[in-house]
Chains A and B, each alone.
Chain A
Amino acid sequence: MRDAACDQGGFTTVSGKEIRELYTPLDLDGFDYTHQLGFPGEYPFTRGIHPTMYRGRLWTMRQFSGFGSAEDTNKRYKYLLSHGQTGLSVAFHLPTLMGIDSDHLLAEGEIGKCGVAVDSLADMEILFDGIPLDKISTSMTINPPAAVLWAMYIAVAEKQGVSPKVISGTIQNDILKEYIAQKTFVFPPGPSMKLIVDTFEYGAKEVPKWNTISISGYHIREAGSTAAQELAFTLRDGIEYVEWAQKRGLDVDEFVPRLSFFFNAHNDFFEEIAKFRAARKIWADVMKERFKAKNPRSWWLRFHTQTSGVSLMAQQPHNNVVRVALQALSAVLGGTQSLHTNSLDETYALPSEDAVTIALRTQQIIAHESGVINCADPLGGSYFVETLTAQMEKEAKDYIKKIDDMGGMVKAIELGFPQKEIADSSYWYQKAVEKKEKIIVGVNAFEMEHEPIPLLKIEEAVAKQQLARLKEVKETRNNSEVKAKLLDLKKAAEDDQNLMPFLLESVRAYATLGEIMDALKEVYGEYKEPISY
């Protein structure tokens, strides 16, 4: 019996790229090992950024997590750390992501639903209570208000007696992919880029172990891009940030070593591995040749990976465990520095404790049982993987050139270029699934009924508790001090100063996130997205 793919006459990746039946040495004609691959830990780092890769140190197992109140999430963090997780990753609820307080009109129904509610330093203190910030690294998925949440984290560390010089972690802080894909934006592009460069500048001096940005392809892919588009737009975003920081007068070798990346691990196993390998090679080349960086650390593309959320299916949800395992394996074979594995129940709700445990165990099984960590870049030299890697590199470079010609990524976004490319790819894929050119097990083939699975429920009591704490904070703090600090902040924004010291002063006085963002909105205005589909 021929399967559906044969009947359609084509074998393609999930991105629609044609794959031939066999790859041979002829595909690698003229292939130069030193130029195209090099050894792991050596330029251009196609085979990995460290000479011994996972033999030296495993990737960081970092599960993105946050729900309900700061107390609820603090408990989950302690649970994950006690089960062998090696870093934290904070998921904030939508009002925090948008820079509004829980008592804002638009926060209704959203409190604690998609992540943990943080309105002020008071919440942040509870969130990290009993977690030693000198020992644990923390990643925070936060974008328009990233500088504010980072200031809160630094303030919590200070309260624990931990110096900013010692703390480590990441703020996502990547606004370009928000305009392109995830759509969590507040300010227009100019002021947004200014705030980001402020964090680069401040971090290089004051918080040297912090990754001040995680340049993210993840959301671009989730919005429906192909693998090559994810790669290209992410790297071009990276170039854009470096250019804006250079315009401020920052030295690339001072701040670029603290830039990190974040990719998606989607279903197509080899295409994903090729994407990760090509990413390292292109970035090394861009930093060395285009930006003339001298510090080898500036050439490194270090990245976090999350398995693909959109690839999870509501139908027969236990099958998601297998999808996640394959995707996670591709990330490890691609040389990731840290990894989040999705939980089987996430098409329905935030993950239950049981589901998140299986997701973490999946990483531990890959690390400790599969044997794939024993040698660096085990697929290096495969005719197929090297051909795919070279194709991926070419496709991405073509896109990068196109965006350069438009005048950069901010210009391309204003023209709607990446948004349109992604919408086209996503529409193509949906139609391919509906025509059964792409098979999804349990959805358009092998369907069957299944029992409902147990889900995490966020109690409405969380909202009441959060609103009560916010009210209490506003009543017990020194309100004239808050007012003064917010005025200083606004003045600093008008004078185009680096805002980090002013944000720190504001959060220490328990100014709320919403109050701080409102002060900045008065100076910067708000972004309005052109509507298109």
Chain B
Amino acid sequence: MANTRSQYRIKAGPEEIMAEKKIRVLVAKPGLDGHDRGAKVICRSLRDAGFEVIYTGLRRTPEEIVNSAIQEDADVIGLSILSGAHNVLFPKIMGLLKEKEADDITVIAGGIIPDKDIPLLKKIGISEIFLPGSSTEDIVKWIEGNVKESSSV
């Protein structure tokens, strides 16, 4: 299996390690729906809060999301989905992260996710689910409180 996280870690040069690093967030849209209003508002809010933000664009497969997160050396993956396919796609993403030794990346999610699905999603390792009505400020605070920039460790 190509592209494990450790391969990319080794490549980081000393000047990058020395520089003051920002938390890197990959905002990803799995599933077939094109509703990107929420994802775009989150991207802009996180950028304005001082994070480095990478947006994957629409309709990314679990493989594409995990590969991007590793290549971009993301500290956080934010999954946005409204199609109802989260119970199938999120476990795949979490499984791939583990397989590629990248399960130290914090994964959070938001979108249309029924309450009753939340326990399962937490159990597979998704750290927090932000439901409709969550404020962008809450998301920023949560990331600041729960995620340490890790790539220079």
Closest to A347 in B: B132
Among A110, A314, A348, A533, chain B packs the most CB atoms within 10 A around the CB of A533
**Choice from B53, B84, B89, B133 contacting A313 with Cβ under 8 Å:** B133
Once bound together, how far apart are the Cα atoms of A300 and B47, in whole Å?
45
**Chain A contacts with B in 108-127, Cβ cutoff 8 A:** 108-110, 113-114
Q: For chain B, give the interface size range.
A: 35 or more
Q: What chain A residues lie within 8 Å of B137 (beta carbons)?
A: 434
Stretch at the interface among A9-17, A327-335, A422-430, A489-497: A422-430
Contact between A434 and B135 (Cβ–Cβ < 8 Å)?
yes
**Choice from A106, A223, A313, A458 contacting B32 with Cβ under 8 Å:** A106
B65 to chain A, nearest CB (A): 13
A434 to chain B, nearest CB (A): 5
A182 and B40 in contact, given A109-B88, A531-B57 (Cβ under 8 angstroms): no
Contact between A183 and B88 (Cβ–Cβ < 8 Å)?
no
Contact between A314 and B131 (Cβ–Cβ < 8 Å)?
yes
A430 and B58 in contact, given A98-B32, A114-B84 (Cβ under 8 angstroms): no
Q: What chain B residues lie within 8 Å of A114 (beta carbons)?
A: 33, 83-84
Once bound together, how far apart are the Cα atoms of A259 and B33, in whole Å?
26
**Choice from A105, A185, A222, A434 contacting B37 with Cβ under 8 Å:** A222
Contact between A109 and B31 (Cβ–Cβ < 8 Å)?
yes
A109 and B89 in contact, given A94-B33, A347-B112, A349-B114 (Cβ under 8 angstroms): yes
Once bound together, how far apart are the Cα atoms of A443 and B83, in whole Å?
23
Q: What chain A residues lie within 8 Å of B33 (beta carbons)?
A: 94, 114
Q: What chain B residues lie within 8 Å of A533 (beta carbons)?
A: 39-40, 43-44, 53, 55
Q: What chain B residues lie within 8 Å of A347 (beta carbons)?
A: 112, 132
The interface size of chain A toward B, counting residues with CB under 8 Å, comes to 41
Once bound together, how far apart are the Cα atoms of A8 and B58, in whole Å?
37
Check if A224 is an interface residue, CB within 8 A of chain B.
yes
Q: What chain B residues lie within 8 Å of A30 (beta carbons)?
A: none
Check if A184 is an interface residue, CB within 8 A of chain B.
yes
Closest to A419 in B: B40
Q: What chain A residues lie within 8 Å of B53 (beta carbons)?
A: 533
A452 and B37 in contact, given A114-B84, A430-B136, A531-B55 (Cβ under 8 angstroms): no
Check if B21 is an interface residue, CB within 8 A of chain A.
no
B: which residues have CB within 8 A of A?
A: 31-37, 39-41, 43-45, 53, 55-59, 61, 83-89, 112, 114-116, 131-133, 135-137
A: which residues have CB within 8 A of B?
A: 94-95, 97-98, 105-110, 113-114, 178, 182-185, 222-224, 310, 313-315, 347-349, 423, 426-427, 430, 433-434, 440, 443, 452, 455, 458, 529, 531, 533
17 A-B pairs with C-beta separation under 8 A: A94-B33, A94-B83, A108-B89, A109-B89, A110-B31, A183-B34, A313-B133, A348-B114, A349-B112, A426-B37, A434-B136, A434-B137, A443-B133, A529-B58, A533-B39, A533-B40, A533-B43
Known pairs A223-B37, A314-B132 / 8 extra A-B pairs, C-beta < 8 Å: A98-B32, A109-B85, A109-B87, A109-B89, A110-B85, A349-B84, A349-B114, A531-B57
